[in-house]
Structure 1
Amino acid sequence: MKHLYLIRHAKSSWADDGLRDHQRPLNNRGLKQLAPMSRAIRADGAFDGTVYCSNATRAQQTLEGLIPSNHQHAVKLAPVLYTFNHEVVLDWLRDRNEDSITLVGHNPALEDLAGLLLKHAPDTFPTCSYMHITLPIEHWCEIGKNRGRLERFLTPKDVSYEQFHRKRTKIRIDEHSPLAWHIPESLLHQYQRIRDLEPGVLQGYDDEFLHQYRIAIRRSRAIAEAVVDISGDSDLRKAVKSLKRHGQATSRLRDLHVLLGDLAQWPLEEDTRLALVSSGARSYFANLADIEHQELTKRLSSGQYRKDMDEWYQLITSRHLKKITRKLAIEDIHKALKKHIHKHDAVARQLNEQSPDDHFHDLRKRLKRIRYLAELNKPAFHDRLRPLKHRQQRFGDFQDLHVQIDMLLAFRNSIATEPDMLAPVAGLNTLISDLAVEKHRVRADILTLGGIA
């Protein structure tokens, strides 16, 4: 078995007309492509064998930004790879004898080479993209048409949300018109965004993909639940439940992402920092995140998920939904909003220092529904939406602290009886105590907010 790894150079600059093609460097966009792709390519083992790189400046700069320093001894410059003809690369490969070869080169040579080796090759091979191809051959001279199997294909937009988002088209809707007038179009836009984000979520290299995926599901639910709240439509209510289940399945992983991010950023005392290191807390939570990601990958790859998303698409593009939304009146939105604000304020008045956390979480859910209803008529509720977002942020902070304290307590309890863990447990107790103080402060802030009306 032979392994062939193909890497196209990152985005290059055409700014200097005086440079020969061979001398062109990477531009700023190309430099930004390197860091996110490096992690993914290294994890796939592309730098474990011999690496051959075109001697063009842009190819060498690409490799320097991708390969770790301890693998640079395996790099060999290959002027033959500065070519746009895949036949040249193919002939050169036939004389190799390594089991694993990585090529850093140019299009169309690499794209055409993949097209020859693979029965179903990717349609394009963008800058800084990567392919791993396996070949069931003993010698490279046996390489030929359709002999390869594509093991992995990654582009920068699959591993970096920044690269994914760079050229995203936004839905073009008159910002001064109520959302109720264009609900089907908005739901379709969110549906397409969910589907486009799925590859990045599945790859798992950038946590922001999951965050944006959750936002797209929440926005879809928000719009649909607001319509259900007003219309009472049973078909839409049933479909929203499936969407809600898929969103809830991401909650644990997102909580772990937030905790791991905060652990890396919190200004911790030295004793607490050492406690996290010696106890293995970060590794513990990172392992939990890996397990959750594996479960989420299974879910998003399942037939049930595809069925639910297909049914959701059929509903939001149906005449039935258009008929429901055409009947929506601004007065209906105002009436439903008034009812929910009244219920929210009644619960808010009962909150006090002794109220359990669940009561705060319940109020947070009520607040979200109010905001979603208000967004159905942004022109009328523009002045209210910003304060609602501020309230929601405070409740979100409270929720994060509640979850983080619970996760840290569970970890502390799991190591409390182990030998030599006295000092780490003490450090964890300090961190948990500090978070509890911050949680109490946020709780006090929420209690001062009062009602909405």
Structure 2
Amino acid sequence: MKYLYLIRHGKSSWADDSLRDHARPLNHRGLKQLAPMSKVVRAAGVLNGPIFCSDAARARQTLDGLIPEDLRQNTQVDPALYTFNYRTLIDWLRAREDEDSITLIGHNPALEELADYLLKQGPESFPTAAVMQIALPVKHWHKLARHKGRLEQFLTPRDVSYEQFNRNRKKVPGSKDTPLTRHIPEALQHQYQRMRDLETGVIRGFDDEFLHQYRIAIRRSRAIAESISEIHSDTELRKASKTLKKHAQATSELRDLHVFLADLEQWQLREGAGVALVSSGARSYFANLADAEQQALAKRLTGKKYRRDMERWHQLISSRHFKKITRKLTSGDIRKALDKRIKQYDILAQQLSEQAPDEDFHRLRKRLKRIRYLAELDKPAFGEMLRQLKYRQQKFGDFQDLHVQLSMLARFRDSIATEPDMLESVAGLNSLIQDLESEKSSVRDEILTIGDIDGHPVL
């Protein structure tokens, strides 16, 4: 079995008309594409074999941006690869020796047409900076044949970088001055399409921002459905919101690990804690947990049940019934539901004390989210309330993150506590845990003094 990696150069510049095609460099966007694709190149196995690059300026810049200089020992610049004819590439490959894998960095249409030749059905297009891996069932490169290859991987900058994905993003229907009640079906259609578009990035797992944005889209959709079902007591919407909730909850563990690993980088700068985190292997331990959770989530999002649930959700928000009930919503309906939720929240908030368990704060945090989501159905009417809720929600979120992180650290500490060579690491972890407990206590005090939503302090 042979493996062929095809890499198209990054987006090139046409700004200077005096330059020959061979001398054209990458433009700003082309340079921005390379950093995220560098992760792909290493993860895909490109570095396992020789890398051959066209001698065009844009191709050589792509090579430089994808592969660090210290890992570039097995690379060659070959003028023969500056071609737009796929037959030239086929002849070049057939003349190769017995390398198990070969990487070509070159140009379209040659690369795209080469893929079409080797695969029964190649991708519809080959965007700039994309990476394609093809498995070829041959022992020798001279045995290459039409349509015998198998596509193993195909990744574009949009699949692995949220920044690249989000270019030219369509805006949500309506505006900040238009009540959401007037365009709920359109807004949910937008969120649905956004979820589906984000799925590839979530499944690939190269950029944490995909998961963050996916969670926003699915939780916002669920919140709108839940809010409308509360106002209209609609059974179908209630069922649908519960289904969306389950899929959103399935992302929580990975999200917590992403936040934890990001904060761990900062904790390692602290005196004492940094040494303990390194010597105990905490970074590797939690990174492995995140990898396992990433694989589980990817399996879920590619499963039949998830696809069926998404199709049912799309059918519901596209139905006449849904459009009919949303057209009836008024600010008065939302105000009535809000008053009920705010009253329940304030009662619980006034019962909080310094001795209250963390679960009481978590319960209030969830109620606060539901209040905000309801108010967002008519932002022009409840704009001031939404501004006040944002600060509250941030504090509750900080408290919840610290609660989860302390739980993770304590479990890890306990797992290594009985190992004789980990005594100093355990002591360092205990010091970090104490610091985080102090931070959590400060956030708890801030929440207790915020007061209920009507403005009365809790203490």
- Which deviates more, 67-76 or 244-253? 67-76
- Separation (CA, whole Å) in 2 of partners of 1:311 and 1:418: 52
Q: Once the 2 structures are TM-superposed, how far is the Cα of residue 25 of structure 1 from its aligned partner?
A: 1.2
Task: Specify the alignment match of 1:310 in structure 2.
Answer: 311
- Separation (CA, whole Å) in 1 of partners of 2:25 and 2:46: 23
1:6·1:130 contact (CA, 8 Å) conserved in 2? yes
1:8·1:125 contact (CA, 8 Å) conserved in 2? yes
Instruction: Give matches, 1:259-408, under 5 Å.
Output: 259-266=260-267, 268-408=269-409
Task: Specify the alignment match of 1:42 in structure 2.
Answer: 42
Aligned residue type for 2:21? D
Task: Specify the alignment match of 1:176 in structure 2.
Answer: 177
Q: Once the 2 structures are TM-superposed, how far is the Cα of residue 145 of structure 1 from its aligned partner?
A: 1.5
- Separation (CA, whole Å) in 2 of partners of 1:260 and 1:445: 26
Task: Specify the alignment match of 2:162 in structure 1.
Answer: 161
- Which deviates more, 254-263 or 163-172? 163-172
Task: Specify the alignment match of 2:144 in structure 1.
Answer: 143
- Separation (CA, whole Å) in 2 of partners of 1:423 and 1:207: 33
- Separation (CA, whole Å) in 1 of partners of 2:281 and 2:176: 49
Task: Specify the alignment match of 2:21 in structure 1.
Answer: 21
User: What whole-Å deviation, never above 9, does each CA across 1:74-121 have from its counterpart, x for those lacking one?
Assistant: 111111111111111111111112221100000111011111111111
Task: Specify the alignment match of 1:448 in structure 2.
Answer: 449
- Separation (CA, whole Å) in 1 of partners of 2:201 and 2:255: 14
- Separation (CA, whole Å) in 1 of partners of 2:143 and 2:114: 15
The alpha-carbon distance between structure 1 residues 267 and 67, as it changes in their structure 2 partners (threshold 3 A), is closer
Q: Once the 2 structures are TM-superposed, how far is the Cα of residue 270 of structure 1 from its aligned partner?
A: 2.8
User: What whole-Å deviation, never above 9, does each CA across 1:43-86 have from its counterpart, x for those lacking one?
Assistant: 11112111110000110110111113343121111111111111
Q: Once the 2 structures are TM-superposed, how far is the Cα of residue 327 of structure 1 from its aligned partner?
A: 2.0
Q: Once the 2 structures are TM-superposed, how far is the Cα of residue 136 of structure 1 from its aligned partner?
A: 0.4
1:194·1:217 contact (CA, 8 Å) conserved in 2? yes
User: What whole-Å deviation, never above 9, does each CA across 1:330-374 have from its counterpart, x for those lacking one?
Assistant: 211111111111111111111110111111011111111110111
- Separation (CA, whole Å) in 1 of partners of 2:420 and 2:69: 38
Structure 2 gap ranges (5+) = 455-459
**1:421 matched to 2:389:** no
- Separation (CA, whole Å) in 2 of partners of 1:435 and 1:14: 53
Task: Specify the alignment match of 1:80 in structure 2.
Answer: 80
Q: Once the 2 structures are TM-superposed, how far is the Cα of residue 166 of structure 1 from its aligned partner?
A: 1.4
Task: Specify the alignment match of 1:431 in structure 2.
Answer: 432
- Which deviates more, 15-24 or 235-244? 15-24
Task: Specify the alignment match of 2:53 in structure 1.
Answer: 53
Instruction: Give matches, 1:169-248, under 5 Å.
Output: 169-248=170-249
2:53·2:106 contact (CA, 8 Å) conserved in 1? yes
Q: Once the 2 structures are TM-superposed, how far is the Cα of residue 268 of structure 1 from its aligned partner?
A: 3.5
Aligned residue type for 1:108? P
The alpha-carbon distance between structure 1 residues 268 and 101, as it changes in their structure 2 partners (threshold 3 A), is closer
Aligned residue type for 2:13? S
2:2·2:136 contact (CA, 8 Å) conserved in 1? yes
Q: Once the 2 structures are TM-superposed, how far is the Cα of residue 269 of structure 1 from its aligned partner?
A: 2.5
1:48·1:71 contact (CA, 8 Å) conserved in 2? no
Q: Once the 2 structures are TM-superposed, how far is the Cα of residue 312 of structure 1 from its aligned partner?
A: 0.6
SS in 2 for 1:174: coil
- Separation (CA, whole Å) in 1 of partners of 2:93 and 2:422: 55
Q: Once the 2 structures are TM-superposed, how far is the Cα of residue 267 of structure 1 from its aligned partner?
A: 6.7
Task: Specify the alignment match of 1:66 in structure 2.
Answer: 66
Aligned residue type for 1:369? R
1:50·1:102 contact (CA, 8 Å) conserved in 2? yes
- Separation (CA, whole Å) in 1 of partners of 2:425 and 2:69: 34
Aligned residue type for 1:57? A
1:352·1:447 contact (CA, 8 Å) conserved in 2? yes
- Separation (CA, whole Å) in 2 of partners of 1:156 and 1:118: 22
Aligned residue type for 2:423? L
SS in 2 for 1:132: strand
- Separation (CA, whole Å) in 1 of partners of 2:147 and 2:352: 68
Report the identity percentage: 65
Aligned residue type for 1:151? E
SS in 2 for 1:73: coil
Aligned residue type for 2:33? Q
SS in 1 for 2:48: coil
Aligned residue type for 2:319? S
**1:32 matched to 2:28:** no
- Which deviates more, 208-217 or 173-182? 173-182
- Which deviates more, 121-130 or 7-16? 7-16
User: What whole-Å deviation, never above 9, does each CA across 1:153-192 have from its counterpart, x for those lacking one?
Assistant: 0000101111111121112313212111111111111111
Q: Tell me the matched-pair count.
A: 453
Aligned residue type for 1:68? P
Output the aligned Cα RMSD.
1.0
**1:122 matched to 2:123:** yes
